[in-house]
Structure 1
């Protein structure tokens, strides 16, 4: 904001985790205590919230595409404002980024991309050897001794007339050769971007200087900034994963107060159940898209790392990678948030369903997710999965059924199969040892009645039972059915219910269309 004239100049943030200071600087400081609360500030970028929020975001790898579109529209209107996309290194694992950069190199629009590289890859388990090499070179290029030596050599060769020019050319070629091996600079330049970096992202004076120098240059530009996640706050520096997304915590220790007596989260129940199943079946593997902790696959990663794959923020690749493993007899369990699975729809259809490959889609954060807001609600999956031929769709009512559905999915061999479960804590019901195979497409009646039938799915079943008790106090006896399967439906039961009841009501946390 200091170097650019916002909101006339457009800042396009990727995902939005980096944008909290942006919100503070653009008139929202007094409302930060309302962030991620009902009626408060969004946890991400939202166009309706501020004129400074140029483009809404919540999913990764969209910023460069959007910024390029804005730049193209600007040129058609013969305007001259600046467009800056700010992306994290985690977003650079998504293929859409490179589609956008390839197009930007062709269009040659004036566009600045700031790559905020904190080497976290959205908390994914990137190979440490890769980052170690990168870190070494970054330290070398930003070290004062190296830069002073480079400047002295440049000044000296400038005094040697024509021979000095040749020496300068050789020195530049040597530096470019080193960059080509150990930094992404040459990759970006091959895509048509002028590359500046790596730069110490905590040196504000240097950053302002760089921004002012490059903002009037023509063509696409990438500024590579190296930062440390949580720098300046010791708890965040120590525990970058736990303090990535937080509930209220003690500012001194960084520790959130624990609520005693709460059942485990569905995410952890899934993750631990998968470890049990993997110990029973050597062909089962887990796949994460840079969210091993958020999906519970961290348990598999810790206990059986050879059976765990983290592909980065690359959901389409994750699904097709799983399909490839399925062709060789493996049983891949792809654990991805429901909202992010939207990005892999074509891969589910083309690479899994058409070929009837046994891929298990474990969809966390199904239904409404609360604080994460509109970009993260998992309320479309029933609809977009239902239309896929051969797809089986399950949703558990509680933790026991989640375990059984995961086991059922692993042992189902006729094609792709999905289970979706909500964010948050489970119900606390007793969980037996082992697993039970469920019959595909069969529902269960959990409460009998004669006046109305409530057909509920997943975590809506407890709410349906509660509603039935309230209706009973009014003299209305409701029959409650745990549907278990969205596809295939229990047609035999539905026909029977339609003959017994004049009124049947479905209860689900999904959009109406296609639900």
Structure 2
């Protein structure tokens, strides 16, 4: 059936039995593809029936579905003409793992970060009303995304404006017993029919005009209805925002889900539909361990065993987590904070060892940073562990609540640089640029796991805000020392002498720069390598001395060139009046596509071969940036 489906409009002619068969085929396709490509499995499996029901009831793409985060949009992609391309999911040149407007007219909004759907959908509803059109707008948001304050800001405005808007709350954590679920579904099917809604409104109108006792009777009637619904559901919360509340509905029972959505589609004003689903539905390993299969690499679909998950060096994230736990054993001031990324940031062991000093604030990065500032005001040494791409969301809090007060808050920036298949919404390639200009901020980029440990201790000892960044994936397998030595703030290290040129390589690209220098040595070129360690403050003494000595400087960073490390070096040399030729190797002024990390490093000249080519050409007077082989450089 999936192969025959051309547009979601054809779903309107299918029986419920046929739709259930289709749901099974969609799950089979998702499991088969993600087992080879990796991706967000559990959340997508959980919303197959919900996705079918939405496309059955709505007239997409005229009607708009805005997916929050987009982790759960795989069934949506399969229903909207991307079956033949689905095997390219998250691959270089393939379809995205998230909704993208330039990929399909059915993708109403580009997403990748959470808690944005209601705001975007409300904007679309407001534009619809300005145009005088009639399309329906639906936001699908998970219960986890409701921990983000932006979602509540949008609920607040939507309830106030009373525009026609449907918010589907995909609740995949709440457990509801069969009896309560059945009763709730019955109540809401009855209460959302057009006839009952009309009778309810007419009764309210009548009672409100009855002299003396009418208003009292109306209050009693409303209180009775609210009490009944509130006893079984959290509906009163959303009704306080001005939404009509429907649910909870079983998100896997099409025979009740479809008529409920049909009734809701005919209501006036903002409506919240509470749908209960099960993460990983239809794939037992994912149902048993939805956290593992949230974002998973290739796996054996017969057993659920993740391939490539064993052996090899520890990840940078793992080194961070173990080291922070060991540091906290010795320093009771250390607390750890993350934003709904316990496993992702490597803090599970810390949370178990120090439950009183661990805080998961939910998807609320702004709150995480200001919460850390409050802790620091009272003598603690908070470490805020966030992915680089998510730290962007808390920029104002970093500036005003931490740096302005010079508070000793540490930012452990995970997934810095190119992260791979998650693509442009998740690449951590802007943190150098948005952190280095903030006064009082110290910024480090360790080149390996030993240097990461040293950066961590340096940060904890510093009386002010510090950030250090490290990449996704395995570290280099270096033996970790028993004792950790801190850095002197603002001191780099020369790793290799050279006379023809010097490479300033900040972060893990140091390893590739050393390999590039070896390649060039085989060609008779003498190229030095310096690890500045610090983006801010720069080791002016070391960098200026090397620039003066060689006259040819190449900077390398896994960050956008605009405002990054190379820009900092140019500014320093300009301020000091140093006449040196400078080539900046980094990422161009564009959003970088998805692909494996090695593919993207090669494409943008950040591997050893690319760095060597850039240095070679620059020494020989060819100023063309090596990244010109990637369009848009």
Q: Which residue of 2 aligns with 1:492?
A: 541
- Assess if the C-alpha contact under 8 Å between 1:189 and 1:195 holds in 2: yes
Is the CA contact 1:331–1:359 (under 8 Å) kept in the aligned structure 2? Answer: yes
SS in 2 for 1:2: helix
| 1:370 maps onto 2:402 in alignment | no
- Paired residue secondary structure (1:309): strand
State whether structure 2 residue 362 is matched by structure 1 residue 312.
yes
Report if aligned partners of 1:456, 1:481 keep a CA contact under 8 Å in 2.
yes
Alignment pair present for 1:77 and 2:116: no
Distance 1:145 1:432, change over 3 A: closer
Q: TM-score, normalised by structure 1?
A: 0.91
Kindly indicate whether residue 506 of structure 2 is the aligned counterpart of residue 452 of structure 1: no
Q: What is the SS of the residue equivalent to 1:212?
A: helix
Deviations 1:468-493 (A, max 9, x none): 01111111111100111000000111
1:188 partnered with 2:227: no
Match status 1:298 vs 2:343: no
Alpha-carbon separation, structure 1, partners of 2:184 and 2:434: 57
Map of 1:109 onto structure 2: 163
User: Deviations 1:132-183 (Å, cap 9, x if unpaired)?
Assistant: xxx45x65532459959x99xxx9xx9xxx9xxx999868634523654774
The alpha-carbon deviation at position 448 of structure 1 amounts to 1.0
* Corresponding residue number in structure 2 for 1:396: 446
Change (3 A) 1:389 1:169: closer
Distance 1:375 1:31, change over 3 A: same
User: Which runs of structure 2 are paired with 1:346-385 in the superposition (5 Å)?
Assistant: 346-385=396-435
1:252 positional shift: 2.0
Deviations 1:323-356 (A, max 9, x none): 0000110111000000000000000001000011
Q: What is the alpha-carbon distance in structure 1 between the residues aligned to residue 548 and residue 410 of structure 2?
A: 35
Aligned to 2:180, which of 130, 136, 141? 141
- Displacement of 1:60 in angstroms is 0.2
Deviation for aligned residue 1:118 = 0.7
Q: Which residue of 2 aligns with 1:436?
A: 485
Q: Of residues 464, 469, 480 in structure 1, which corresponds to 2:513?
A: 464
Superposition RMSD in Å: 2.2
State the match for 1:474 in structure 2. Answer: 523
Deviation at 1:498, TM superposition (A): 2.2
Q: When the two structures are superposed, what TM-score results if normalisation uses the length of structure 2?
A: 0.74
Cα distance in 2, alignment partners of residues 369 and 358 from structure 1: 28
For residues 257 and 62 of structure 1, the distance between their equivalents in structure 2, rounded to whole angstroms, comes to: 33
Q: Deviations over 1:17-40 (max 9, x none)?
A: 110100010111222221111011
Q: 2:157 is paired with a residue of what secondary structure?
A: helix
1:257 Cα offset (Å): 2.3
Aligned residues: 487
Aligned partner of 2:317 in structure 1 is: 267
Residue 554 of structure 2: aligned partner? 505
SS in 2 for 1:273: helix
Runs of 4+ in 1 over 4 A off after TM superposition: 144-148, 166-172, 178-182
Match of 1:300, SS state, is helix
CA distance in 2, matches of 1:182, 1:295: 36
Structure 1 residue ranges without an equivalent (≥5): 120-130
Residue 124 of structure 1 is matched in structure 2 by none
- CA shift for structure 1 position 497: 1.5
Cα–Cα, structure 1 residues 265 and 219, in superposed 2: closer, same or farther, change >3 Å? same
Partner of 2:82: 28
Residue 155 of structure 2: SS of its match in structure 1? helix
Cα drift, residue 218 of structure 1: 1.1
Distance 1:145 1:462, change over 3 A: closer
Q: Distance in 1 between matches of 2:185 and 2:534?
A: 64
Kindly state the Cα deviation for residue 445 of structure 1 after the two structures are TM-superposed.
0.6
1:100 corresponding residue in structure 2: 154
Write the distance in 2 (CA, Å) between the matches of 1:506 and 1:204: 58
Superposition deviation, residue 114 in structure 1: 0.3
Equivalent residue, structure 2, for 1:52: 106
Identify which range, 184-193 or 83-92, moves more after superposition.
184-193
User: 1:451: how far off?
Assistant: 0.9
